[in-house]
């Protein structure tokens, strides 16, 4: 780990003042190196109290540490402080022949997009923006329900680490206290010659501890931690999500998805092939489809698109 990453870890774990001399001795670096590292942390949104004679004390904010995530998940991490989009980073890495699986991580995003090309709000500090590139090499009808699996892994990870309960809105949004805090975007690349899905990129954006959500979004968008200081770091949550994703069987994650569904047994509206429909969402199939009992009669399974709840 870099010097400033080691200093952050020491201050965060101590939660009390540590002198510059003590930090310099433990890390075997100069006092000047400690001062420069503190400035780097402050530039990355970490609030540190400085007191003459006492040293430095962590106050708020956390730091993304790729080496720590790799050690906890086994995933190689490609990290940049600022990115247009981690989906684009993953595609560029794929084209460059980077190893897979690999996690692409950014401190913030400047041109993030969600499903259907919608803009996804990202903040300079306090969000999680990541994309996982994997190579399943399976036929399309054998492709795991990756969006469903990641949504379930995220909800489960949040509950394990914080005790907070979230809900999943079919097909790719996670809500906390009635507001969206997570968006998931899964993209696939297929081979015409072999008829298989060769590559999948799963993008995840999480409002972890955002303080500057625009007023026009505050009614819809929330944050896992808002006024309260986070009880975990972003590294903790990222690692737990991908640990659950890679170790919990798909059918168990499917059960979590159904249990945490926002739409089941509720009246929904949606559009398919240019026609509007409405009905009661009855079930979610193992392949991720939504079964709706139509107001006009009969059942319809939808596998893509977006549903709206008649009453929120």
Region 66-260: CATH code: 3.30.930.10
Q: Is 180 annotated as a binding residue?
A: yes
Query: Among 3.30.465.10, 3.40.50.1860, 1.10.10.10, 3.40.50.10800, what is the CATH number of 3-60?
Result: 1.10.10.10
Instruction: Specify the pLDDT at position 194.
Output: 86
CA 101, distance to chain mean position in Å, is 16
Q: Which residues of the chain carry a pLDDT beneath 50?
A: none
**How far is the CA of 161 from the CAs of 56, 157, 258, in angstroms?**
28, 6, 21
Instruction: Specify the pLDDT at position 167.
Output: 97
Instruction: Please give the CATH architecture assigned to the domain spanning 266-309.
Output: Roll (2.30)
Q: Is 114 annotated as a binding residue?
A: yes
Instruction: Specify the pLDDT at position 158.
Output: 98
Q: What are the structural domain ranges in the chain? A: 3-60, 66-260, 266-309
Q: Is 179 annotated as a binding residue?
A: no
Instruction: Specify the pLDDT at position 207.
Output: 95
Q: Is 113 annotated as a binding residue?
A: yes
């Amino acid at each position: 780990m870099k010097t400033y990453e080691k200093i952050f870890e020491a201050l965060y774990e101590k939660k009390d003042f540590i002198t510059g001399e003590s930090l310099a001795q433990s890390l075997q670096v100069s006092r000047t190196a400690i001062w420069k590292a503190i400035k780097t942390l402050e530039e990355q949104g970490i609030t540190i109290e400085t007191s003459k004679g006492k040293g430095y004390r962590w106050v708020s904010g956390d730091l993304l540490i790729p080496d720590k995530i790799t050690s906890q998940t086994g995933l190689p991490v490609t990290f940049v402080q600022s990115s247009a989009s981690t989906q684009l980073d993953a595609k560029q890495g794929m084209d460059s022949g980077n190893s897979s699986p690999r996690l692409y991580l950014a401190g913030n995003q400047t041109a993030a997009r969600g499903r259907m090309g919608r803009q996804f709000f990202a903040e300079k500090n306090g969000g999680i923006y990541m994309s996982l590139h994997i190579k399943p090499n399976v036929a399309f009808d054998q492709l795991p329900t990756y969006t469903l699996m990641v949504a379930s892994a995220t909800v489960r990870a949040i509950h394990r680490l914080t005790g907070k309960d979230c809900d999943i809105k079919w097909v790719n949004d996670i809500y906390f206290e009635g507001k969206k805090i997570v968006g998931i975007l899964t993209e696939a690349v297929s081979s015409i010659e072999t008829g298989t899905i060769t590559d999948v990129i799963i993008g995840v954006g999480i409002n972890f501890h955002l303080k500057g959500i625009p007023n026009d979004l505050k009614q819809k968008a929330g944050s896992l931690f808002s006024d309260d200081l986070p009880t975990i770091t972003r590294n903790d949550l990222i690692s737990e999500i991908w640990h659950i994703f890679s170790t919990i069987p798909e059918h168990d994650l499917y059960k979590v998805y159904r249990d945490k569904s926002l739409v089941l047994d509720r009246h929904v509206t949606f559009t398919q092939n240019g026609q509007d429909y409405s009905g009661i969402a009855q079930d979610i199939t193992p392949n991720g489809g939504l079964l709706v009992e139509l107001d006009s009669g009969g059942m319809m399974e939808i596998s893509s698109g977006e549903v709206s709840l008649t009453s929120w």
